[in-house]
Amino acid sequence: MAERTAITRTVTVGIIVVIIIIAAAVGILFATSSPSSTTTTTSGAVTTTSASPTTQSSFAYPVVANVPQNLTDAFYPTTPVTISMYEWSGIPPAYMIQQFEAAFPNIQIQRTSNQDVSGLLSALDTHQHVYDGFRVLYSLLPQEVATGQVLNIAPYFNDYLSYLHQQISPAAFNLVSAGKPGAMYCIPEDFAPVALDYRVDIFNKYGLTVPTTWAQFAQDAAKLHSENSSIYMTIFPPNEPSSDLMAVFSQGGGNMIVPAGNNSWDVVINSTQNLNVINYWGNLITSGSVTAMNLYTPQYDKMLQEGQIASFATAAAWYPGYLIEPTAPGESGLWRVANMPQWNSTGPFVSGQISASCIGVTTNSVDPKATFLYAFYTTQTPQAMPWMWVNEGQWTSNTYQLANLKYSNGSAVFLGNSTYFGGQDIGTVYLYAQEHMPTQWLWSPYQITVQTILQEQLTEAAAGQITFADALQNTETVMIQYVQSSGGTVVGVGH
């Protein structure tokens, strides 16, 4: 009897427990299916359920023009986050940051004041979180990547922004790969195709036609200087080896230091292609047809303002409005832009490029997706590009937008007639140059040292202390030793 009573009590308790469990389960079911806790976002996000209006499922994702909604839904944080950005040259300016924060209020940007590359390199070398993102020159990106602290954002880009592969210049994608096929360590920002900017009045006065080849350019340079010794066809700036000289090296099919395997390199500074280029300019300088002069100096400003410089042979897309016009406002209507002269008169047209900038994400970022969203917005959205071009001289890497982007009144942003350039649509010349940029050019993790050594050597060559060919060979010799002392293997050299 006692056993039966015990069993009965046990069964009764068991039944009660089961009932409680079932009731609880039913309660949970009703709670999770309640209309008051189910949120459907109006921005196109997948419908989710939640017991709390503060969870991600009830979050209202922003809808921002020209930003793919699936990118926003996947990358926009549901709680506030502050990301720190390493900046140089004050770009993007405060206005653009405020515009981004207004569109994505859960992301606040804290940025450095204007910095140089050494600070970023030192920060990344700590292998700790110091910055979430950074702006850097293409030429210096591989050195940052070599620290191992730059995120490969190719998966983000390919999954959410694949359409940009048809818009951004292939040469830009090549540069942000840092020499690693398929990788992407930066979103391209601006770009710097080059063209020939020239004084049409000087050309007309001395009977010069616009040179289509470098051979003709050399002939015209000699003719001009012989007829007026105070005027030079162009200047050669020893202090800008990372830009002007690299533009003609890249156009000529050359390179400097290129990957040849795992920490193996071809040091091809003194290649046949580069040697041909440096001898060409060395001969022009030695003969007096071209003068070697550093840019951005009082002497340079004076010569430009007094009409002693007839052209800029490697003028980047921002030269017309941000270098020539501000320096020589009195020469309005006297300048024109033409295609860059060619080494081969019968081959396909090839332009050149100098270093521009991109925005990347660090591996230690507190929120790499939010940082990526910021990088995309400030570099590739139509609401950012016009302001950045007009106010900061940022010629976009997006070739499609170069050709098609318009203001609300229908006028083109990057194309259109320029009063200073005699009413010429100079943008179309630079657009054509961007469409024909060489894609073989790569920067290396040793670029800072290359620039330093080459600048020293070119300065000596310009002073007549060594030949320009010597400058190239000496730079290569030093860099071979430097690569090897840094633990790299030199596979190929020079010719």
pLDDT tens track for 32-49: 333 333 333 333 222 222
Look at residue 495 in the predicted model and tell me its pLDDT.
Answer: 63
Chain-centre distance of CA 211, in angstroms? 30
Look at residue 74 in the predicted model and tell me its pLDDT.
Answer: 97
Please indicate whether residue 24 or residue 56 has the higher confidence score (pLDDT).
Answer: 56
Q: Which two tokens stand for residue 399?
A: 């070739």
Look at residue 37 in the predicted model and tell me its pLDDT.
Answer: 31
What would the pLDDT profile of 68-78 be if each residue is shown by its tens digit?
999 999 999 99
Indicate where the chain has its CATH 3.40.190.10 domain(s): 66-188+357-394, 194-354+417-493
Sign of dihedral through CA atoms 395, 401, 404, 405? negative
Look at residue 212 in the predicted model and tell me its pLDDT.
Answer: 96
DSSP for 101-136 reads: HHHSTTEEEEE-SS--HHHHHHHHHTTS-S-SEEEE
Chain-centre distance of CA 216, in angstroms? 33
CB atoms within 10 A of CB 260: 17
What would the pLDDT profile of 328-360 be if each residue is shown by its tens digit?
999 999 999 999 999 988 889 999 988 899 999
17: confidence class by pLDDT, cuts 50, 70, 90: very low
Averaged pLDDT for residues 440-456: 91
Averaged pLDDT for residues 47-54: 32
Considering 160-164, 281-285, 458-462, the range whose residues carry the highest mean pLDDT is: 160-164
Least Cα distance to 96 among 414, 408, 403, 376 occurs for 376
91: confidence class by pLDDT, cuts 50, 70, 90: confident
Averaged pLDDT for residues 48-66: 62
Averaged pLDDT for residues 371-391: 94
Element (H, E) at 49: strand 48-49
Averaged pLDDT for residues 455-470: 91
Please indicate whether residue 58 or residue 105 has the higher confidence score (pLDDT).
Answer: 105
Look at residue 172 in the predicted model and tell me its pLDDT.
Answer: 95
Please, what is the average pLDDT of the chain?
A: 86
50: confidence class by pLDDT, cuts 50, 70, 90: very low
Look at residue 242 in the predicted model and tell me its pLDDT.
Answer: 56
Look at residue 241 in the predicted model and tell me its pLDDT.
Answer: 56
Cis peptide before 80 (omega within 30 of 0): no
Look at residue 48 in the predicted model and tell me its pLDDT.
Answer: 29
Bridge partner residues of 312 (DSSP): 197
Matching CATH number, 66-188+357-394, of 3.40.190.10, 3.40.50.720, 3.40.50.1820, 2.60.120.10? 3.40.190.10
Please indicate whether residue 204 or residue 296 has the higher confidence score (pLDDT).
Answer: 204
pTM of the complete model: 0.85
pLDDT for residue 381 is more than 80: yes
pLDDT for residue 414 is more than 90: yes
Q: Counting Cβ atoms within 10 Å, is residue 140 exposed (0-12), middle (13-18) or buried (19+)?
A: buried
Please indicate whether residue 391 or residue 307 has the higher confidence score (pLDDT).
Answer: 307
Q: What is the C-alpha end-to-end distance of the chain, expressed in Å?
A: 106
Please list, residue by residue across 175-212, b when 16 or more beta carbons sit within 10 angstroms of its beta carbon and e when fewer do.
Answer: bbbbbeeeebbbbbbbbbbbbbbbbbbbbeebebebbb
DSSP 8-state symbol, 344 = -
Q: Counting Cβ atoms within 10 Å, is residue 435 exposed (0-12), middle (13-18) or buried (19+)?
A: middle
Q: Of 151-155, 242-246, 448-452, which range is least confident?
A: 242-246
Percent of the chain's residues with pLDDT above 70: 87
pLDDT for residue 365 is more than 80: yes
Cα-based angle 226, 227, 228 (whole degrees, multiple of 5): 95
Percent of the chain's residues with pLDDT above 90: 71
Averaged pLDDT for residues 17-30: 36
Could you give the CA distance from residue 16 to residue 427 in angstroms, rounded to a whole number?
A: 82
Could you give the CA distance from residue 58 to residue 180 in angstroms, rounded to a whole number?
A: 41
What would the pLDDT profile of 301-331 be if each residue is shown by its tens digit?
999 999 999 999 999 999 999 899 999 999 9
Please indicate whether residue 13 or residue 194 has the higher confidence score (pLDDT).
Answer: 194
Matching CATH number, 194-354+417-493, of 3.40.190.10, 3.40.50.410, 3.40.50.720, 3.20.20.480? 3.40.190.10
DSSP 8-state symbol, 324 = I
